[in-house]
Amino acid sequence: MPPSARRCLAIVLAAGEGTRMRSNRPKALHEVAGRSMLAHVLAAVTQAGAEGLALVVGPDRDDVAAAARSAATDAEIFVQSQRLGTAHAVLAARAALDRGWDDVLIAFADTPLIGPSTFLALRQALADGAAVAALGFEAARPDGYGRLIVDGQGALTAIREHRDASEAERATRLCNAGLMALSGAHALSLLTAVTPANAQKEYYLTDVVAGAHARGLATTYRLASEEEVQGVNDRVQLAAVEAVAQTRLREKAMRAGATMIAPETVFLSADTELGCDVTIEPHVVFGRGVRIADNVVIRAYSHLEGASVAAGATLGPFARLRPGADIAARAHIGNFVEIKASSIGAGAKVNHLAYIGDASVGAGVNIGAGTITCNYDGYSKYRTEIGEGAFVGTNSSLVAPVKIGAGAYIGSGSVVTEDVSPGALALGRARQVEKIGWAEEFRKEKAKK
Ligand code: UD1
Ligand code: CA
């Protein structure tokens, strides 16, 4: 039976204290590429075919539970009230285990780079007859990790925690990545047989290997790269994991048809969507929720989040798109322009030093340099509507709520406080006065002193 035909439960452990993060935020909710580590792990096990999702959290971790439910609505939450070890944590999800599964995957919420194919390789080992499949890696510095103990035939017989290992066992660099796959038929009896007879007096998940081997069940391991299995205990490791995630996302984007001149300076989010023939110049940051269509050019030093950009538009340099910015095809958003919760119509131009907030800007509109939508009075936000083809002169203040009709002109420097009819010219500024010869008089006056 291939893994796809087998029913799989994934148990994600997140009850660790995460003290070394030195944070008020639970470790599992720290983000990598704009998505919590927990959400990365839930996505990977789901893509590896897990139908059941069980999350084990520490006491009073409603925040983690809520995040899990928003990342995966059907995740079941279990509380491990005392932190007595990884096997004890898995057994906190006993009610889920009891429902009967072919495969049980165990993952750690602080190991966010493991991809679905690695979880699937472990499931395949179960499908091939193993009762326990562990994940090993060659550690550059094995200190602190559990060691895989492999017999002369290459079979996995035990996993020994560093503190409990002999000098000879410590000599191997083949280490335990932590996560594991257990056959559903044996999982509960193997887990309940674990005792805390070790240096830390903890219930070790790793002891199920020796337990299964003693019963004559097949135990095996698969290998992953050290990069993929790296865990996060502090913020230095968080940054290391972020760097790997960014490299992966950049490569994926380039392979899918984006050009990056200096990819190492472009920062993406896990959910960034890029079309084909998108050009991204150096130093561009994509926050969460950005969708970019084909043939868009994003010039250097732009910052985008929660924005959608249609085909052929150009952004930047130094453009800022905030949540709710919706840029239509072929629009131009130029330097030092900030757009928030506004739609910019097809072919419209907002080229220099402008703030457009809570506005709808029609197709073909020209917004002059220095134009500001005054959308906030300190209490509420108000909308500005600018009809198709209107021309807003430079340095205008559009005091919302206000509507500018299609095709209208706004004279430069206007403060627009009332609606403007379609096709009209609105001037909201003091008329210019001229005093002939004034300058000469002034200079003479000054020269006397
Ligand atoms: C574990 C493995 C070790 C492996 C290492 C890889 C065991 C016994 N050891 O050790 O072989 O080399 O990972 O990083 O499994 N957790 C709970 N409740 C607990 C204890 C742990 O939820 O009572 C969770 C933690 O939040 C964490 C994960 O389990 O996500 C691993 O726990 P941790 O204490 O970091 O295990 P290690 O000692 O690193
Ligand atoms: Ca650890």
For the segment 112-151, what is each residue's pLDDT rounded down to a tens digit?
A: 999 999 999 999 999 999 999 999 999 999 999 999 999 9
This prediction has a pTM of: 0.93
Domain boundaries, the chain: 3-223, 235-426
Residue 65: per-residue pLDDT? 87
The CB of 145 under 6 Å from ligand 1? The reply is yes
Both tokens assigned to 57:
């959290």
Q: In 3-state terms, what secondary structure has residue 91?
A: helix
Residue 153 has pLDDT above 90, yes or no: no
pLDDT digits (tens, 9 = 90+) for 317-340: 999 999 999 999 999 999 999 999
Q: Are 297 and 309 in contact (CB under 8 A)?
A: no
Residues with a known catalytic role: 352
Residue 431 has pLDDT above 90, yes or no: yes
The CB of 204 under 6 Å from ligand 1? The reply is yes
Residue 1 has pLDDT above 90, yes or no: no
Q: Are 6 and 127 in contact (CB under 8 A)?
A: yes
pLDDT digits (tens, 9 = 90+) for 353-393: 999 999 999 999 999 999 999 999 999 999 999 999 999 99
Pairing status of strand 278-280 against strand 308-309? unpaired
pLDDT digits (tens, 9 = 90+) for 199-235: 999 999 999 999 999 999 999 999 999 999 999 999 9
If one compares 66 and 248, the residue with the highest pLDDT of the two is: 248
Residue 33 has pLDDT above 90, yes or no: yes
The domain 3-223: what is its CATH number? 3.90.550.10
The CB of 207 under 6 Å from ligand 1? The reply is no
Residue 169 has pLDDT above 90, yes or no: yes
Residue from 86, 135, 221, 232 to probe ligand 1 pocket by mutation (most atoms less than 8 Å from CB) = 86
**Alpha-carbon distances of 443 from 138, 368, 423, 446, rounded to whole Å:** 84, 36, 45, 5
User: What band does 16 get if pLDDT is binned at 50, 70 and 90?
Assistant: confident
Residue 61: per-residue pLDDT? 84
Contacts of 405 (CB under 8 A, 6+ apart): 387, 390, 419, 420, 421, 422, 423, 424
Residue 178 Cα to ligand 1 middle (Å): 7
Residue 231 Cα to ligand 2 middle (Å): 7
Residue 64: per-residue pLDDT? 87
CA of 179, nearest ligand number:
1
Average pLDDT over residues 84-112: 97
Residue 439: per-residue pLDDT? 97
Residue 160: per-residue pLDDT? 97
Residue 215 Cα to ligand 2 middle (Å): 28
CATH 3.90.1310.10 fits 235-426, yes or no: no
Alpha carbon 266 to its chain centroid, in Å, reads: 14
Q: Which atom of ligand 1 is nearest to the CA of 83?
A: 23
Closest residue CA from atom 19 of ligand 1: 85
User: What band does 178 get if pLDDT is binned at 50, 70 and 90?
Assistant: very high
